């Protein structure tokens, strides 16, 4: 019993001393607690040094390696090379996305229902001097390109047709409006109102257009004063069923009406000025509308005989 009372008394005394030390000013405690801490830390210091040595032995610190000037130049050159490859790949992806959009737009463009296959072709050479002229494409007869094959962009904007001299790996594209090509400078077209969504080779008012240069065409159209102006600026002009062109070109967009002029020699006819919506000399790619070749009579007879007909 006395031993228990002595233990409680010692605990009480210790608690009172700790309480008094915790509220005592710091300047009273530092002079003697610092020495006491040094005495207590003295036997622990060798153990701490030994533990630090073991840690350094198990996991040694690596000295910082500073690359040389030549190594740094090599690293920077590799960084620039990979950065250039990344930008090149990104541009290729963008180009493929554009080509896919061109093909999808050409496939979805409404017009004459004709079976054909879209194919993208790159313009490898423009007319010298940056003027409007024939374009050289990287697609030829091996890819299914035939004389007269139609070329479009943005789905239904008519660019032109392929010339007669088609080689196995390349071909020449003659844009519409080229004065040296009768098929491209004289077009049978139809005018449809800009707000009318009807698209096709038979919609709108018929007009024959002749090229006047600079991406412009003009033609005369009948005008009835009692009905007012049936043609307005901004109306769309599309290729009609012009027999000089393949059927895949019928209904394709030529341009828009930019001017309507009166004619002095014939007051009942109006002169319509049409301007194309693109510049062929700036095109990087086009979409070719490939058709299967029409069999000749001898080929048809051979196929019938082989089929047992």
Q: In this predicted model, what pLDDT tens digit does every residue of 35-60 receive, in sequence order?
A: 655 655 656 556 555 666 666 666 65
pLDDT-derived band at 193 (thresholds 50, 70, 90) equals confident
User: Model's pTM, two decimal places?
Assistant: 0.58
Using an 8 Å Cβ cutoff, are 176 and 191 in contact?
A: no
Domain locations along the chain? 1-39, 97-294
CA–CA gap between residue 220 and residue 189 (Å, rounded) = 12
Q: If pLDDT is split at 50, 70 and 90, which confidence band does 274 have? A: very high
Q: How confident is the model at residue 304 (pLDDT cuts 50, 70, 90)?
A: very low
Answer yes or no: CATH 2.60.120.10 is held by domain 97-294: no
Confidence of residue 217 (pLDDT cuts 50, 70, 90): very high
CA distance 148 to 52: 86
Confidence (pLDDT) at 105: 59
Give me the pLDDT at residue 230, please. Answer: 74
d(CA 257, CA 274): 5
Residue 244, judged by CB atoms within 10 A of its CB (0-12, 13-18, 19+), counts as middle
**Phi, psi values for residue 200, rounded to 5°:** 165, 175
Closest Cα partner for 199 from 158, 146, 243? 158
Q: Which of 152-161, 194-203, 260-269 has the highest mean pLDDT?
A: 152-161
């Amino acid at each position: 019993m006395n031993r228990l009372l002595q233990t409680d008394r010692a605990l009480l005394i210790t608690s009172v001393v700790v309480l008094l030390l915790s509220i005592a000013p710091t300047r009273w405690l530092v002079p003697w607690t610092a020495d006491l801490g040094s005495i207590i830390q003295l036997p622990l210091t060798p153990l701490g040094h030994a533990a630090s040595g073991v840690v350094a032995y198990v996991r040694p610190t690596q000295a910082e390696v500073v690359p040389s000037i030549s190594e740094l130049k090599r690293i920077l050159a590799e960084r620039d090379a990979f950065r250039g490859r990344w930008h090149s790949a990104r541009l290729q992806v963008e180009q493929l996305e554009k080509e896919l959009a061109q093909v999808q737009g050409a496939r979805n463009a409404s017009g004459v229902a004709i079976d054909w296959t879209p194919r993208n072709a790159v313009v490898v050479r423009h007319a010298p001097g940056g003027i409007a002229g024939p374009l050289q494409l990287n697609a030829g007869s091996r890819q299914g390109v035939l004389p007269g094959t139609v070329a479009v962009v943005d789905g239904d904007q008519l660019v032109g047709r392929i010339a007669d001299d088609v080689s196995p790996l390349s071909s020449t594209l003659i844009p519409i409006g080229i004065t040296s090509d009768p098929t491209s400078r004289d077009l049978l077209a139809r005018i449809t109102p800009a707000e009318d969504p009807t698209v096709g080779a038979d919609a709108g008012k018929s007009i024959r257009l002749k090229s006047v240069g600079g991406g412009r065409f003009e033609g005369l159209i009948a005008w009835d004063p009692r009905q007012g102006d049936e043609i307005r600026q901004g109306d769309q002009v599309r290729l009609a069923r012009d027999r000089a062109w393949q059927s895949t070109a019928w209904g394709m967009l030529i341009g828009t009406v930019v001017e309507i002029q009166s004619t002095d020699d014939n007051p009942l006819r109006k002169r319509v000025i049409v301007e194309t919506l693109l510049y062929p000399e700036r095109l990087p790619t086009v979409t070719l509308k490939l058709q299967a070749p029409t069999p000749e009579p001898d080929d048809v007879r051979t196929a019938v005989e082989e089929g047992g007909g």
